[in-house]
Amino acid sequence: MSQQHQALFALLQQAIQLQQLRAIDLQFCQWLQQQLPQSSESQLFLSALVSAALAEGHVCIDLRDLEAIIERWPVPIRSTAIQLLPTATEHGLLVDQQIIGDGNGLTPLVIDNQRLYLYRYWQYECKVANRLLSANQALVTPIASHLLKEQLDRYFTSSEQPDWQRIAAAVTTNHLMTVISGGPGTGKTTTVTKLLAIYIENQLAIGHRPIIQLAAPTGKAAARLSESIAQAKNNLPISEQVLSLIPEQGKTIHRLLGARAKSKKFIHNSDNPLLVDLLVIDEASMIDLPMMANIMDALSSQTRLILIGDRDQLASVEAGSVLGDICALPKIACYSKQLSALLATSCDYQADSSTGYPFADHLAFLKKSYRFSVDSGIGELARVCNAGDVEGVERVLQTPFNDLNWLGADADEKQLLKQILQGYSDYIALMKDALSPTELLAGFNRFQVLCALRVGPFGVESINQQLEHYFEKQQLKDLENRWYVGRPVMITRNDNQMQLYNGDIGIACKDPQNGQLKVWFEQGGELRALLPSRLPAHETVFAMTVHKSQGSEFNHVMLVLAQSAKVINRELIYTAITRAKEQFSFLGVVKVLKQAVALTTKRSSGLADRIWRQ
């Protein structure tokens, strides 16, 4: 090993000690050097940076922002690190087709449009972008505008103008792939149920019985989608034949694709596509780039795809911000002349028209919330947060709204526990009465504590421990036993064999048949019971992180936010607020909340450019 390489690895070791890199980033760099000893220090250094960026959710690193990345490093190593960065004129020289390529051959790293990727993630991004863009050319038999208008008139009876739900249905009708984005209470699943009825009617008219599948990233989100679709379809003026073809049970994406034990590969892929005519996926903001690539890979060329989600929510836990990138249309983008004409005829909506951005025709935005009235504090707080209105946050918290409550900023752990016990008082009563698993599951959804952080006095781990100590004192929990009636647990690792996946929530309750304590999960509208010993990795979730709450809704949400951290941002706060259906309580420091609202997440990715560049 050369002296230059030794000096580089010494620098990276310092960066690990200063928590700028991880040990695995150094190991990746060292592995590359062993495989390709001729690699330059700059190439190897960049390999460590792109590995570290992936852990922070970035798909790539922008070579134009390298100095900004290093400027965040501590002074002792910053100047040395900057010297290893290539200049703008040297970016092209990095490509040697051995360690760094341009995508034409297999290399560990790829440079594309001034962005540096791990080869696998470059492939993922290209696969997703190519599939999305190919939807522009895909042939779909169009519905005549006057026939579409008749169907829309039957299902969308609102006199509002514009009727965003009706417009979304019209946009979706003639496209192979569509994204419907909207905030809480905008009627996403109601809209999808109606457009499914329209789709089925048109398919039956040509003698085809379509196969439709519902899916979501987590078991909880899939259950919510199933419940919403089942309720909505029974209120539609449709025949029994159409009604029977609208599915009621959703699956997790892992179950849909056929997850393999101890493998990241799925049963369904380009060689074995899903036998589905139309796939609807809810909570699309939670889908990371690798998973979206797997979804695209499993679709046949004729399968229609509808993605539903809220583009303003937190991005996925893993790398990418796929829904945000898809919906990142330029401000000047608008519908094509053809789609504008269809909307004018079928929806009486005069849209701006342009032919500059064809993919704009595949997006629909629901802009009116029916859940929160004009005097709703939850709705107003979500709005000012989403707009980045820092001063508006404090103004809303100090306004006396019935559904909004600021619990103060100076609570110690004892006061915090008191507030949480008050919120969980109804559920604790259910625990004492040891009622059925159905009642416990329903009771648990009424109140939830959300935290921005896992550790610390106001973090998830501390709050859950405090509650369990309280239950021991109240004799609701045996000191020697981890399990007790009412214990809510969240699965933290996918287990394909048990068909339990990260984010699934179960409640411990005695089996009414034999009195044995089991953990009950709601899956596909039905209850499933397992012995505690059979569960994969899990944790207690009286308190959970905001990230883990995605795909769930609760009647009353309490957000605990007492300290600032770089992971706390506008999207996290907005996501926490919009988990609440009826009541939102904030326990924490307004200054920290305002700082978070001022900070928005920007993940490095080239997906938006691939979709929207001309």
DSSP 567-582: T--HHHHHHHHTTEEE
- Mind giving me the DSSP string for 284-328? GGG--HHHHHHHHHTS-TT-EEEEEE-TTSPPPSSS--HHHHHT-
CA–CA dist 55, 17 (Å, integer): 17
Q: What is the CA radius of gyration of the chain?
A: 26
Split at pLDDT 50, 70, 90, the class of 524 is: low
Mean pLDDT, residues 224-248 taken together:
88
Split at pLDDT 50, 70, 90, the class of 457 is: confident
**In a 10 Å sphere around its CB, with 0-12 CB exposed, 13-18 middle and 19+ buried, how is residue 493 labelled?**
exposed
Mean pLDDT, residues 249-276 taken together:
88
Mean pLDDT, residues 532-543 taken together:
93
CA–CA dist 452, 448 (Å, integer): 13
pLDDT value at residue 329: 84
pLDDT value at residue 546: 92
Residue-wise pLDDT tens digits, 78-90: 988 888 888 877 8
Mean pLDDT, residues 183-197 taken together:
91
CA–CA dist 386, 456 (Å, integer): 27
Split at pLDDT 50, 70, 90, the class of 415 is: confident
Q: Could you tell me the two tokens for 410?
A: 């100076």
258 Cβ contact list (under 8 Å, min separation 6): 266, 267, 268
pLDDT value at residue 614: 54
Mean pLDDT, residues 232-239 taken together:
87
300 Cβ contact list (under 8 Å, min separation 6): 273, 274
Res 525 pLDDT > 70 = no
Q: What is the pTM of this model?
A: 0.89
- Mind giving me the DSSP string for 97-166? SSSEE-SSS--SEEEETTEEEEHHHHHHHHHHHHHHHHTTT----PPPHHHHHHHHHHH-----SS-HHH
Do the strands 517-523 and 526-530 form a parallel or antiparallel pair, or are they unpaired?
Answer: antiparallel
Percent of the chain with pLDDT over 90: 48
Nearest to 609 by CA among 171, 132, 93: 132
Residue-wise pLDDT tens digits, 590-603: 888 999 999 888 88
Least confident of 146-155, 356-365, 406-415: 406-415
Res 117 pLDDT > 60 = yes
Res 210 pLDDT > 90 = yes
pLDDT value at residue 297: 95
86 Cβ contact list (under 8 Å, min separation 6): 42, 46, 63, 66, 93, 94
Q: Directed axis angle between helix 188-205 and helix 145-155, to 10°?
A: 130
Identify the helix (H) or strand (E) that includes residue 589.
Answer: none
Nearest to 195 by CA among 209, 174, 181: 174
Residue 545 and residue 579 in contact, taking contact as beta carbons nearer than 8 Å = no
CA–CA dist 118, 107 (Å, integer): 9
pLDDT value at residue 410: 61
Query: What value does the mean pLDDT of the chain take?
Result: 88
284 Cβ contact list (under 8 Å, min separation 6): 179, 307, 308, 309, 322, 323
- Token pair 């990795």 is at which residue? 537
Split at pLDDT 50, 70, 90, the class of 585 is: very high
CA–CA dist 329, 359 (Å, integer): 9
Residue-wise pLDDT tens digits, 306-334: 999 999 888 888 888 999 999 988 776 78
Least confident of 164-178, 380-394, 406-420: 406-420
Res 353 pLDDT > 90 = no
Q: Could you tell me the two tokens for 14?
A: 């310092």
Res 413 pLDDT > 80 = no
Do the strands 404-408 and 250-252 form a parallel or antiparallel pair, or are they unpaired?
Answer: unpaired
Mean pLDDT, residues 18-24 taken together:
92
pLDDT value at residue 565: 72
Split at pLDDT 50, 70, 90, the class of 273 is: very high
Mean pLDDT, residues 227-243 taken together:
88
Mean pLDDT, residues 446-457 taken together:
89
Res 412 pLDDT > 80 = no
The distance of Cα 487 from the centroid of its chain, to the nearest Å, equals 26
Mean pLDDT, residues 499-520 taken together:
88
Split at pLDDT 50, 70, 90, the class of 63 is: very high
Q: What are phi and psi of 565, to 5 degrees?
A: -160, 155
Residue 460 and residue 545 in contact, taking contact as beta carbons nearer than 8 Å = yes
Identify the helix (H) or strand (E) that includes residue 64.
Answer: none
CA–CA dist 496, 493 (Å, integer): 10
Tell me how many degrees the CA angle 354-355-361 measures, rounded to the nearest 5.
85
